[in-house]
Amino acid sequence: MAMMSMVEAIRDAIDTAMEADERVVVFGEDVGYFGGVFRCTQGLQKKYGKSRVFDTPINESGIIGVAIGMAAYGLRPIAEIQFADYVYPGYDQIVSEAARLRHRSAGDFTAPLVIRMPCGGGIHGGQTHSQSPEALFTHVAGLKVVMPSNPIDAKGLLTAAIEDPDPVIFFEPKRLYNGPFDGHHNRPLKSWKDHPLGDVPAGRHHTPLGKASLLSEGDEVTVLAYGTLVHVALAAVTELGIHADVLDLRTLLPLDLSAIRQSVEKTGRCVIAHEATFTSGFGAELAALVQAECFYSLEAPIERITGWDTPYPHAQEWHYFPGPKRLKAGIRRVLDGTIERVS
């Protein structure tokens, strides 16, 4: 075990996988000599050489396209997209190619690759460095979608993603890279070094995809969250002084529906939180599933607390970000059984 930031945990997962399996290769914009703009691949080129860790041209379609070709050959590529906001030129390669290769070739060819990308706001990145496009990928058959909320899970889930036989979209909430963040942006920065979830196991650490993690336990309400919003949810619950289940979904697809069902059947109330925009966000899928699976247990309408349906603004970032204040109000409404229509 060692105290690590999320950046270090991601690097450690890649390092461990590269050490164990020479098929693992890493590439993306600035990932080689420089080690990535967030330093997730720092030192790896020096250790494993330029043929396994290298810079690519600025072409996301190309990065993902060559990853598919390498994966089809038999390698285990880990492609980095510098910001999730830049993935769109590669979307066709992901949606039409990587996601369907196994199915359309009847298993003749497959694409076991990982596409890592920093997502989410909180760094004043404006509309081109802040987006959370996870729902654009959960909507696509053939992809797995992961978003860890802490260093231990980042390492475990990335290990599972690298070993997975199918393409995995791996979102890294950039505001969590160097410390937990609960949405109180005016408070001093916290470090993972002082956090129990920063104590990362050494060596191969595998966390199965499709398993949620219960980070707070209680019977009054269930909060479903992932990524940065997990920490906002924990803060909101603590500040409200209530007993709530905070379920960190960790993997959006495949989804741990049994953990969700178990919790909501116990609490009878459900709040869903994510940073991405509201309409057709992953929260809509969650709400529909909870409604269908737990209808007879529900004692209040399901509430969704999300980013607004606008581009991510630069100056008004903290009014866009669904912070503890909005989440607490949402939880309060669900506890009181009142409704506030968002859409």
Q: Which is nearer to other proteins, 218 or 311 (CB)?
A: 311
201-240 footprint of other proteins as x/- string (CB under 8 A): ---x------------------------------------
Complete DSSP assignment for 263-295: HHHHHS-EEEEEEEESTT-HHHHHHHHHHHHHG
Count of residues in the chain: 343
CA distance 198 to 201: 9
Report if residue 129 touches other proteins, rule: CB under 8 A: yes
Question: Which residue from 8, 40, 48, 56 is in contact with other proteins, where contact means CB under 8 A?
Answer: 56
Among residues 278, 281, 286, the alpha carbon closest in space to that of 310 is found at 278
Q: Which is nearer to other proteins, 28 or 198 (CB)?
A: 28
Report if residue 29 touches other proteins, rule: CB under 8 A: yes
Burial 198-237 (b: 16+ CB within 10 A, else e): bebeeeebebebbbbbebbebebbbbbbbbbbbbbbbbbb
Report if residue 309 touches other proteins, rule: CB under 8 A: yes
**In contact, 23 and 77? CB cutoff 8 Å:** no
In the numeric block, which tokens belong to residue 40? Answer: 């997730």
CA distances from 121 to 124, 161, 172, 273, 328 (A): 7, 24, 11, 15, 20
Question: Which residue from 91, 95, 126, 211 is in contact with other proteins, where contact means CB under 8 A?
Answer: 126
Q: Is 129 a catalytic residue?
A: yes
Report if residue 158 touches other proteins, rule: CB under 8 A: no
What residues from 311 to 330 belong to the interface with other proteins (CB under 8 A)? Answer: 311, 313-316, 319-320
Cβ–Cβ contacts within 10 Å for residue 197, how many? 21
Question: Which residue from 57, 188, 196, 241 is in contact with other proteins, where contact means CB under 8 A?
Answer: 57
Report if residue 299 touches other proteins, rule: CB under 8 A: no
Question: Which residue from 1, 2, 33, 43 is in contact with other proteins, where contact means CB under 8 A?
Answer: 33
Catalytic residue among 124, 129, 139, 243: 129
CB within 8 Å of 34: residues ≥ 6 apart: 42, 55
Question: Which residue from 8, 12, 80, 85 is in contact with other proteins, where contact means CB under 8 A?
Answer: 85
Residues marked active site are found at: 129
Which residues of the shown chain bind other proteins in the complex (CB under 8 A)? 17, 20-23, 29-30, 32-34, 37, 50-51, 54-62, 71-74, 85-86, 89, 102, 105, 107-110, 112, 124-129, 163, 165, 204, 278-279, 308-311, 313-316, 319-320, 340-343
